[in-house]
Amino acid sequence: MPNQNQIFPEPTVGVFIFNKADEILLLVSHKFPGKYVVPGGHVELGEKLEETAIREAKEETGLDIYGLKFINFQEFIYDPSFWKRRHFIFFDYLCRTDSLEVQLNDEAEEYIWVKLESALNLALDEYTRVSVQKIIAGNLSQD
């Protein structure tokens, strides 16, 4: 059942972070039980999407990112894969980091660095999978 307090869809940003070895950072979060996802979160009032990506990456992973590139947007409407029923609009960005020193906050339980093609063999959240496939198809991770 949808959250009765929600009036409008919530814009959120997903951050697909690549390291120097061209591996992507994936997290396990209680918000998408049993699935790998990427860091991300809500756009704050007055904040640009790119600013949200930088802030959320830092808050959730401790990583500084650069080279943001828009991947796609996806609609998420009361999907049961999330821990509570909400309507989101996901804006996904690809970026890079020079560090491997991940410092998780309380939103993630664990993390892995993995080659992009290998990520498709993992239990990815459906929305994460769509963006990974889009990156592969567009060869965006090689920029």
Query: How do residues 86-107 score in pLDDT, each as one tens digit?
Result: 898 999 999 999 998 899 998 8
Q: Per the domain annotation, does 2 fall within a domain?
A: no
Give residue 55's pLDDT. Answer: 98
Task: Give buried/exposed letters for 39-75 (b at 16+ CB in 10 A, else e).
Answer: bbbebeeeeebeebbbbbbbebbebebeebeebeebe
Q: In terms of residue numbers, what domain contains 128?
A: 16-30+39-142
> Mind listing the pLDDT tens digit for each residue in 120-137?
999 999 999 999 999 999
What sign results for the dihedral spanned by CA atoms 138, 119, 88, 64? Answer: negative
pLDDT band at 140 (very low <50, low <70, confident <90, very high): low
Q: If you average pLDDT over residues 25-54, what whole number do you get?
A: 94
Has residue 141 got a pLDDT over 60?
Answer: no
Q: Retrieve residue 31's tokens.
A: 């918000």
Q: Per the domain annotation, does 9 fall within a domain?
A: no
Q: Per the domain annotation, does 119 fall within a domain?
A: yes
Tell me which of 100 and 80 has the higher pLDDT.
100
Q: Per the domain annotation, does 11 fall within a domain?
A: no
User: How much of the chain exceeds pLDDT 70, in percent?
Assistant: 93
Under DSSP, is residue 96 helix (H, G, I), strand (E, B) or coil?
strand
Has residue 3 got a pLDDT over 70?
Answer: no
Q: 97: domain CATH number?
A: 3.90.79.10
Q: Give the count of domains, the chain.
A: 1
Q: Per the domain annotation, does 77 fall within a domain?
A: yes
Q: Per the domain annotation, does 22 fall within a domain?
A: yes
pTM exceeds cut of 0.85: yes
Q: Per the domain annotation, does 117 fall within a domain?
A: yes
Q: Per the domain annotation, does 6 fall within a domain?
A: no
Give residue 83's pLDDT. Answer: 66
pLDDT band at 139 (very low <50, low <70, confident <90, very high): low
Evaluate whether 99 touches 64 at the Cβ level (below 8 Å): yes
